[in-house]
Chain A
């Protein structure tokens, strides 16, 4: 599975949109982009995933560039409870997670 690159940390003011970037320049055509987040003292939690179209759910929006080499996770109105480490990963649909690499992620701090 392809590897991803994320900034180590970001700050966001409460109530503003948080835009978390992810680079996956070696992504293959059949690899999906997934986002998980990990709040302190908890296990990671699934947020959203997509292949090439933009996706939105109740938690976030995922914007994937046309060349699919990068993506952005958007939390439209960040709250203090969104403070967490966010992981961007890529994986081939239909395969298990054994080859998936969770990097160190982006530590997002939402500031009052």
Chain B
């Protein structure tokens, strides 16, 4: 168990540029979540996958945001035409869910995005 890995840890970009983040979940975890967190606030849900299927998207996820999880393993979150308001920590979490178990999330250390 190597934990949830996120890359890069930090990303600085200019407004209008596209950025892509990667998340490698714990091996064999079937759910993967993306969250956004700003200073002083708790994580805000963006979207989640069950295996390769994207099952839910938050209203926070504008059409500039897209997430994929090909083959149900790693996931990418892309932000197109970044805006200064996109500056935040982007967290990924994974979990193993079967039957009606009490789901526990395992978070990565996040990618800190700064849009100049």
For A42, the closest partner residue in chain B by CB is B109
A100 to chain B, nearest CB (A): 7
Binding site for A on B (CB under 8 A): 4, 31, 33, 40-45, 48, 50, 55-56, 58, 91-93, 97, 100-110
Residues of A within 8 A of B103 (CB): 91, 93, 96-97
Asked whether A45 and B40 contact (CB < 8 A) given A93-B102, A98-B45, A100-B45, the answer is no
Question: Are B108 and A96 interface neighbours, CB within 8 A?
Answer: no
User: Interface majority SS on B: helix, strand, loop or mixed?
Assistant: loop
Q: Say yes or no: is A21 at the interface (Cβ < 8 Å to chain B).
A: no
Residues of B within 8 A of A94 (CB): 100
Asked whether A45 and B42 contact (CB < 8 A) given A98-B48, A98-B58, the answer is no
Number of A-B contacts (CB under 8 A): 62
For A94, the closest partner residue in chain B by CB is B100
Q: State the CA gap A94–B48 with chains docked (Å).
A: 15
Inter-chain pairs besides A45-B107, A46-B104, A102-B44, 12 sampled, C-beta below 8 Å: A42-B107, A93-B100, A93-B102, A94-B100, A96-B103, A97-B105, A98-B48, A98-B55, A98-B58, A99-B45, A101-B42, A104-B41
Asked whether A41 and B104 contact (CB < 8 A) given A98-B48, A104-B41, the answer is no
- Bitwise, A76-92 to B at CB < 8 A (1) or not (0) is 00000000010100010
Question: Are A43 and B45 interface neighbours, CB within 8 A?
Answer: no
**Contacting residue for A105 out of B42, B44, B58, B97, CB 8 A:** B42
Query: In the complex, which residues 13-32 of chain A have their Cβ closer than 8 Å to any Cβ of chain B?
Result: 32
